[in-house]
Amino acid sequence: MDPLYKAFGWLLALFYSAIPNLGVSIILLTILVMLILFPLTAKQAKSMLAMQRVQPEIKRLQAKYKNDRQKLNEEMMKFYKENQINPLAGCLPLVVQLPVFFALYRTLRSPYKYVPLDSKLFNAFCHPAKTVAACAHLPSGVHHLKFLSLDLALKPTQVHGFANALPYYVLVALVILTGYLQSKQTSRNQPAGGNPQMAMVGKIMPVFFGVICLEFPAGLALYFFVSNLWRVGQQEVILRKIAHPDKLPPLKTSIPTDEVIEVEPGGKKPGGFLDRLLNPPTQPGNGKAGAGKASSSGNGKGGTPNPKSPAAKPPAAKAPGAKRPPQGQQRRRKRRR
């Protein structure tokens, strides 16, 4: 990975030589990397949208062949082939992009280690040192470069004073906001009854990135913000121009559209810890109230009768051949009582 680090460092120094501002150089480098990776990102987004689009048909197949696993696999493979969908098509672009993003992150975390020694950027970081080792042992440390009053080498938690720390926390809030907008874009075309776990992850990840930005230098937070903002615009282009539902051919399926198949509703299965934390189960009532109702129903003084108690049982019906006593005997029995 070292050659990739040095390549990013060389590009960062190149942008700095044209515009001597580290923040602008980070923005230009992030945009350049996103442009180079656009074909892979577009392919990954199209694959993801295609899988979201076919989820209702997949659920119908699973409901129809739920008792025949082999037949279900055959029908699903046939369905993917007829509609020219590869379920793994979105994984390969992601695997290729991860090393690039990790290298970019590593370069921006300590840029003075990877920029050319004879560049203006290295001189701005390490003057009067001439090597990386000498730069690391400067009495005053590596020189801090600023962008819009932000010291890009400082973490938000290292800045003291409300007025001084406010721009850093605004940048962290922008990282969370753009991540949330990106998540909403992804789930916009998702059919009803989708995967609730993925929806939950989409809500948690922007907050997670915002929290880790509190412990990262502001230069990295700027990179996260620019990359999120770029992805929002990129996904909008893909959703409107490339993978719009009106521009896609109709799905081919072996199940007739008029065939009624009962599909189990999604989102009803019990989830893990996060699902229970964000969606706590509703309690039907207090145990004491239930006990009070039960006691009042069995004492004959009022309340709703308990269907399980003996008093709630209907009276036994008389046999069809039983004779009623004469009316005179009935009156005598009443008088005796």
Which amino acid, one-letter code, is at 262? Answer: E
Give the pLDDT band (50/70/90) at residue 14: very high
Q: Tens digits of per-residue pLDDT, 36-74?
A: 888 887 777 777 777 777 777 778 888 877 887 888 888
Residue in the block written with tokens 């909403």:
184
End-to-end CA distance of the chain: 104
Structure tokens at 304: 């709703």
By the 8 A CB rule, do 5 and 107 touch?
yes
Q: Are 16 and 119 in contact (CB under 8 A)?
A: yes
Using a cut of 0.75, tell me whether the model's pTM lies above it.
Answer: no
Q: Do residues 120 and 13 lie in contact, with contact meaning Cβ atoms separated by under 8 Å?
A: yes
Q: 146-147 and 150-151 as β-strands: parallel, antiparallel, unpaired?
A: antiparallel
**Residues paired with 146 in a beta bridge:** 151
Q: Are 148 and 171 in contact (CB under 8 A)?
A: no
Q: What are phi and psi of 7, to 5 degrees?
A: -65, -45
pLDDT in tens, 180-211: 888 887 666 555 555 566 667 777 888 888 88
- pLDDT, tens only, 166-177: 999 999 999 999
Q: Find tokens 């989409």 and name the residue.
A: 202
d(CA 142, CA 126): 6
Query: What would the pLDDT profile of 212-267 be if each residue is shown by its tens digit?
Result: 888 888 888 898 899 889 888 888 887 777 656 555 555 666 565 545 455 555 44
DSSP of 32-54, one letter per residue?
A: HHHHHTHHHHHHHHHHHHHHHHT
The tokens describing 164, both together, are 């001084």
**Is 25:9 a contact under the CB 8 Å cutoff?**
no
pLDDT at 299: 46
262-300 confidence digits (pLDDT tens)? 555 544 444 454 445 545 555 554 444 444 444 444 444
Three-point CA angle 132, 133, 138, nearest 5°: 95
